[in-house]
Every structure is written in C-alpha cells, then in structure tokens.
Amino acid sequence: MSLGIFRTKSVEQTLQDTEEPEHQLKKNLGALDLIVFGVGVSVGAGIFVLTGHAAATNAGPAIALSFLIAGLGCGLAALCYAELASTVPAAGSAYTYTYATMGELLAWIIGWDLILEFTVGAAAPATSFSQYLGVIFSGTPFAIPEAIATTENGYLNLPAGLLVIGLTMVLISGVKLSSRINQVVTGIKVLVVLAVIVVGAFLINVSNWVPFIPPAQTPAASEGGFLHLPMVQSLFGLEPSVFGIGGVFAAAAMVFFAFIGFDVVATTAEETRNPQRNLPIGIFGSLAIVTLLYMAVSLVITGMQNYQDIDPNDGAPLATAFVNAGLPIMGNLIAIGACIGLIVVCMILFLGQTRVGFAMSRDHLLPAALAKTHPRFGTPYRFTILAGIPIAILAAFVPLSTLAELVNIGTLSAFIMVSIGVVILRKRRPDLERSFKVPWVPVIPIASVIICFYLMLNLSVETWIRFVIWLVIGFIVYFAYSRKHSRLNFMQAGR
C-alpha cells in the first residue's frame, strides 16, 4: 500500500490554486527584477568571504576553476529550472515541481530541505552583516559593544537579530518594495565588486598564480577527524588530501553557496508577469553575471597575494588584501559594500523561505492558516512572521559559519530533484505547453544530476550526518501530520 505518498498534484490543479483569492500573490515582477534578485542574493558572503577561504584551504589560484565548475553545475540545473518554472509558474520552486512529477513524499522532503536551506542561508548573512558593521564603526562613537555584537565573545548578536526583524516588516509590505530596495543595494554591490576587479587588476603579481593548481598534499590533522573529510574520501577510502584536482572540486562544493540566487528567482514564479518569458531570462541572466564576477574576483585576490598568505579565518579577505597592498581606502569601501550588500542577501533568502513555506501551507502539508495572504499587500504575511522568528533567533544567538555546507547540500539535492523532474514530466505530460525546453533531454538533466551529486560527495561527512538527521525529522513530521492533512488526501477522499 502506497499510503498516498506517491500521489501527484496535477499541473492544472497547481495553477488553479494560484487563482484562489485568499491565497493569491500579486504579479509585480519583470525580467529585470528577477535578474537583480538573482545577482543580489549571489553577490554577498560568497564573494566577500568564501573566495579567500576556499583559495587558502582547498584550491589556491585554481579557485577560479572551482567557481567555473560550480557555475557549470548550476547552469545545467538552471536549464531544468527554467523549463519547469515557466511551465508551472507557481510559488514553491523545487517543492512544487517535485509535487507535480514525483509525488507528495518526495515533494515534502524537498520542501523540508528548502526550509532548512533558506532559514540557515538567511541567518548566515545577517551574522556577517553584524561583523562588517562592527568593522565600519570600530574606533568611532558608534562602536558596537562586543557583548551585543557577536556570539563568539559576547552574549548575543543584536544587530543581526534587529536586521531580520526589520526585513520581516519589509517583506510583509510587498515584493515590489523588496525588489526596489534590492535594485538600489545590488547596484551599489556590483559597483564595489567592479572597483575591486579594476583596481585589483593593477596590483596583480602573476607569479602568485604559479602553480595555478597547487600540488595535492595531506591536510593537517583536525579536531573533527574523519568527520571533516569529504564524503567521497571516506566512501572510497581515498587518501585525505587538499589542493590538487580533488581540492578544486572540494572548493567547488564549498563555494556552491554563492550560486543559490537563481533558485530564489524560481520561488517568485507566481509573482512574475509573463513568467514563460521572464523566468528563463531572470535565471540565466543572473547566473551568467555572478559566474563572471566570481571568477574575476577570485583571480584578483589570488593574484594580489599568494594563496598561502591568505588567512582562512579572515572574515573579510578582500578588504584585507587591499589593506596589505597599501590601499586601506579600498578596504573600507569593500567593508561598506559588503555590509550593505549582505542586507539584501538576507532579505532575498528570507523571501525564498516564505514562498516555499507558503506553497506547502497552501497544500496543507503545513497548517493551512499560514497560507493566508495579506488583504492589502498580497504577501504571505503569516508565514513571513513565523519564519522571521527562528531566523532572528539563529542570527542573534548562533555562530553560523560552520553551517554554510549544510545550505549547499540542501541546494544540491533540490537541483537533483528538479533535473529528474524534467525527464519525468516530459514523459508523463508531453502535451503541456513549454515556452522554454531543455535541449538534449535526457542527456543534460542526467549530466546535471551527476555533477550535483559529485559536488555533494565532496562535502564533509559531518555535513551529511546533519543533513540525514534533518531529513529523518522531516519524515516523522510528514507521517505524523502532513500526510493526513494533505489537501490531496481530502480531495481524493471526496471530502
């Protein structure tokens, strides 16, 4: 007996649900809004922090190749996202697509997975924002007392918590307001990044790029032992190593956090005007821009200083590189740009969290009352408030640097499901109108699955353990609550 866990929600029913007045989202977004959303969420902690960390610990100058590999994996998955998002323009992203192709249980697991991804992903930049804010105000009358500036040496991270509370109000007020704020701040961020590339290009010493791929070496013993090793090394008994080709792929898995922007673009499908045209433009436009920016910045930072001189624990490696090069003004500019930019990263990941939860609540897999939209603003205000609470608590009380990999493994698993979903929906519903179609099916979706799964294997054993624990909790919640309350369950029972 299947217990209903493989029942699928038809595309027609999915689209019909988006027209219900009390669950209807306003269509305010165009192609430019979507591109800026994607760039806005991607140009953040990844480009300002992860670039230096990954270069110092895993890839050296070849971090540029790591970004290219991660971008390629995202590009293949983006093709699949574009087809499904334009065919099924409803909130929920990978959750919604999985529900229409592979059944309710897998859809729930992906939705559960995305909730964790976006919750942790939104809290992390809020914490980083507070750190950069402390750097900016250091030595001024506005300096933030350490007791309320960080959980590392203080009691709480007050600025991070207050930022999330403020963003909760912004997101309730409407997605168009969020988009306008995002456009202004993203413009500032991109200008700062371009300044880094242009100014840094004159400070490059090409000898720092030699060897471009540092030879593999045995890593120093760590406190976590095998738990900190990539899963692929533990599974196949490979000799632990960093750098070399293996280090390039391990770094690609690490920096994948930087490429979740187009995933958030897909969550706004229901609020997009002419989604069949604008969603593919938003997805591919944002992905292409951020891939080029990341590769350029990584070449600059490893060209300005030898990768062995980069402190992997430095929270602001770009700023440090320019300070060490005798340009403290550029260091301050980068700190200000990062501080402002992280606000938008937090906001957009928060936005993605609310749209996935909203879709799951509308299907009654989560309490249906959470799917009510605001009568004036047309936003899922109840779920936004509910989601803001744990995000604010995590940002204010928990150091989240070690959880970046958990965001990555969740994102990659969602990409795999979306890629498989394209093949299944093509087979089951060839009659559907598709304004955008993935070429060379099933070759490209299969290639996407292989690359994404291999990147998952390059994440640590510890990350896999945390991921499995979260999934087990998800299974318990589904069978204890969601399966019985599912809207499809009531419809099939004729109630």
Residue-wise pLDDT tens digits, 36-82 = 878 877 877 667 777 888 898 889 999 999 999 998 888 888 889 88
One-letter amino acid identity for 483? R
Residue-wise pLDDT tens digits, 433-470 = 887 888 899 999 999 999 999 889 888 888 899 889 99
Q: Are 88 and 15 in contact (CB under 8 A)?
A: yes
Tokens of 325: 């090069």
The residues near 16 (Cβ < 8 Å, ≥ 6 apart) are none
Q: Are 134 and 115 in contact (CB under 8 A)?
A: no
5-14, 178-187, 295-304, 451-460: lowest mean pLDDT where? 178-187
One-letter amino acid identity for 317? P
Please report the pLDDT score of residue 154 as a whole number: 73
Peptide bond into 380 cis (omega under 30): no
Q: Are 359 and 92 in contact (CB under 8 A)?
A: yes
Architecture of domain 11-492: Up-down Bundle (1.20)
Please report the pLDDT score of residue 264 as a whole number: 74
Q: Are 67 and 291 in contact (CB under 8 A)?
A: yes
Query: Per-residue pLDDT for 480 more than 50?
Result: yes
Please report the pLDDT score of residue 116 as a whole number: 85
Distance CA 15, CA 151 (A): 44
All structural domains of the chain with their residue ranges: 11-492
3-state SS, residue 105? helix
Distance CA 365, CA 112 (A): 10
Q: Are 420 and 447 in contact (CB under 8 A)?
A: no
Please report the pLDDT score of residue 393 as a whole number: 92
Read off the pLDDT band of 214 (50, 70, 90). Answer: very high
Q: By percentage, how much of the chain surpasses pLDDT 70?
A: 91
Query: Per-residue pLDDT for 325 more than 60?
Result: yes
Distance CA 487, CA 108 (A): 13
Read off the pLDDT band of 307 (50, 70, 90). Answer: very high
Query: Per-residue pLDDT for 379 more than 80?
Result: yes
85-94, 340-349, 362-371: lowest mean pLDDT where? 85-94
Higher-pLDDT residue of 223, 38: 38
Residue-wise pLDDT tens digits, 18-34 = 777 766 677 778 888 88
H or E element in which residue 86 lies: helix 63-87
Please report the pLDDT score of residue 404 as a whole number: 63
The whole-number average pLDDT for the span 72-93 is 84
Map tokens 């689209």 to a residue: 15
Mean pLDDT of the chain: 84
Please report the pLDDT score of residue 374 as a whole number: 85
In this structure, is the dihedral angle defined by the CA atoms of residues 403, 409, 412 and 416, taken in order, positive or negative?
Answer: negative
Measure Cα distances from 112 to 236, 288, 351 in Å.
30, 28, 16
Tokens of 197: 């590339």
Please report the pLDDT score of residue 315 as a whole number: 63
3-state SS, residue 152? coil
The whole-number average pLDDT for the span 200-212 is 94
Residue-wise pLDDT tens digits, 124-154 = 888 878 877 877 887 788 888 878 877 667 7
Tokens of 489: 């369950």
The whole-number average pLDDT for the span 383-407 is 81
Please report the pLDDT score of residue 261 as a whole number: 67
Burial of residue 266 (CB within 10 Å: 0-12, 13-18, 19+) is: buried
Give φ, ψ of 242 to 5 degrees: -125, 165
Please report the pLDDT score of residue 1 as a whole number: 40
The whole-number average pLDDT for the span 264-290 is 82
